[in-house]
Amino acid sequence: MDEMKPKMVIGLMSGTSCDSIDAALCEVYPDMRVKLVKGINWKYPVHIRAKIFQIFKGEASVQDICQMNFAIGKCFSDAANVLIEEFGKPDLISSHGQTIFHYPKDDKLDDISLRSTCQIGESSVIAKNTGCLTASNFREADMALGGEGAPLVCFADEKWFRPLKKNVLVQNIGGISNVTVISQEHPTYGFDTGLGNIAIDYCVQKFFNKPYDKDGVLANEGVVSDNWLEILLQDEYYLKNPPKTTGREYFSPEYIERTLRLAPSEPKDIIATLTALTAKTIVKAYENFIFPDTSIDEVIVGGGGAYNPTLMNFIKKYLPKHIELKTHEDYGISNNFKEAMAFALLGYCTYYNIPNNMPECTGASCRTVLGKLSN
């Protein structure tokens, strides 16, 4: 293996909310530190984004998926090229791609496992349109070893937050919420706690024709329906033991519409209750699966949810009083670009053939090198 050196890496990430492509130019160091040079949120063209949501809804043909794999690859390369025009070519691009389906269940067909995942955004298109070596397809190797292929950001959390020498929960709130448990007494592990912003965003779009609840204003003006909240909390996912992952396949538009049958009539109350649900399920996951074995000093929140003061206030309300609530920004890590930075690190490890999954988080049978390289 080549001697490890600092590398300039562009991390590319588009999450469950599919609101934009996050592109983060980073300097990645051999000790696994990642310094953000510049990040941008590159908006999908309107018809491309609409087609992605058609795929999410199962309304797309094989032809659509084939074509969108290349089209989204072009979008990812366009996002990267904005940074390349300003800073020059990096040593590596590391792309998560756009997840269109994630199926961690071990169902069988002819006694062959159907556990699988699919991210589109063809890496060869990114490599050819940027002229840069491109790492991609990070989830598949973990799933081939019996893992859930997620959460992968635990690897970065371990490298960045274990040096704090205290017990912390690193909570990402994107479309889905996931937590990494970093304890001085136990190996690092993590899992998806459940809904993040998917249901909130869906209902804000449905009732207010806005893409999301900016600054949590709508939720703050509503009243939480305790009865509906209790019904929502009974979903089987929240009771399932880790390791576990979920996504838009489970918390689908059809799922949300079914839950709305019992919702309060006032739309702002719906947004308030769904925001409380995200906070409550996060804290209940801690109570059920973490607190019995681990004492926690603080919770460090990142992702879009960190910018929602109403959501943050709910989390603070539900947390035990002795636990501090902070954000990634308190530790010099961008709330907005944290996941893109994490994939920059994962790609750096792919380049140097360093195992970069965490079986304690994903359930894989062993450590392995995630990602494939295209040039």
pLDDT digit string, tens, across residues 216-238: 999 999 999 999 999 999 999 99
Task: Indicate whether 178 and 322 sit together in one domain.
Answer: yes
User: Are residues 160 and 101 part of one domain?
Assistant: no
Is 2 a member of any domain? no
> If you average pLDDT over every residue of the chain, what do you get?
96
CA distance 280 to 173: 13
Q: Check pLDDT > 80 for residue 240.
A: yes
Residues 107 and 245 occupy one common structural domain? no
Q: Are 300 and 156 in contact (CB under 8 A)?
A: no
Are residues 121 and 67 part of one domain? Answer: yes
**pLDDT tens digit sequence for 262-279:** 999 999 999 999 999 999
Q: Average the pLDDT over 50-64 and give the result.
A: 94
Stretch 34-60: mean pLDDT: 95
pLDDT of residue 1 exceeding 90, the answer is: no
Sign of the CA dihedral running 345, 181, 152, 301: negative
More reliable by pLDDT, 272 or 19:
272
In the numeric block, which tokens belong to residue 123? Answer: 């890496």
Question: pLDDT > 70: what percent of the chain?
Answer: 99
Residue 120 lies in a domain: yes
Residue 251 and residue 163 share a domain:
yes
Which pair of structure tokens corresponds to residue 252? 């689908």
Is the bond preceding 151 in cis, omega lying within 30 degrees of 0? yes
Q: Looking at the structure, tell me whether residues 216 and 303 fall in a common domain.
A: yes
Binning the chain into helix, strand and coil, the percentages to the nearest 5 are 40, 20, 35
In a domain, 1, yes or no: no
Give a yes or no: residue 272 inside a domain: yes
CA-based nearest residue to 301, from 276, 282, 280: 282
User: Is the link from the previous residue into 243 a cis peptide, with omega within 30 of 0?
Assistant: yes
Instruction: Answer whether residue 199 is part of any domain.
Output: yes
Q: Does 70 fall in a domain? A: yes
Q: What is the pLDDT of residue 18?
A: 84
Is the domain of 126 the same as that of 170? no
| Total residues found in the chain within this entry | 375
Range of the domain at 128: 7-150+337-374
Give the pLDDT band of residue 84 (cuts 50, 70, 90).
Answer: very high
Q: Is 39 helix (H, G, I), strand (E, B) or coil?
A: strand
Q: Is 153 a residue whose pLDDT tops 80? A: yes
The answer to whether 34 and 25 have CB atoms below 8 angstroms apart is no
Q: What is the pLDDT of residue 287?
A: 98
Mark whether 160 and 175 lie in a shared domain: yes
In a domain, 138, yes or no: yes
* DSSP string covering 197-239: SHHHHHHHHHHH--SS-GGGHHHHHS---HHHHHHHTT-HHHH
Tell me the pTM: 0.92
Query: Structurally, how many domains does the chain consist of?
Result: 2
What confidence score (pLDDT) does residue 297 get?
Answer: 96
pLDDT at residue 17, rounded to an integer = 76
Q: Are residues 102 and 222 in the same domain?
A: no
Name 324's bridge partners: 298
Both 159 and 233 in one domain: the answer is yes
Question: Do 353 and 300 lie in a common domain?
Answer: no
Over residues 170-175, the mean pLDDT reads 95
- Shared domain for 185 and 283, answered yes or no, is yes
pLDDT given at position 358: 95
In a domain, 168, yes or no: yes
Output the domain CATH number for residue 278: 3.30.420.40
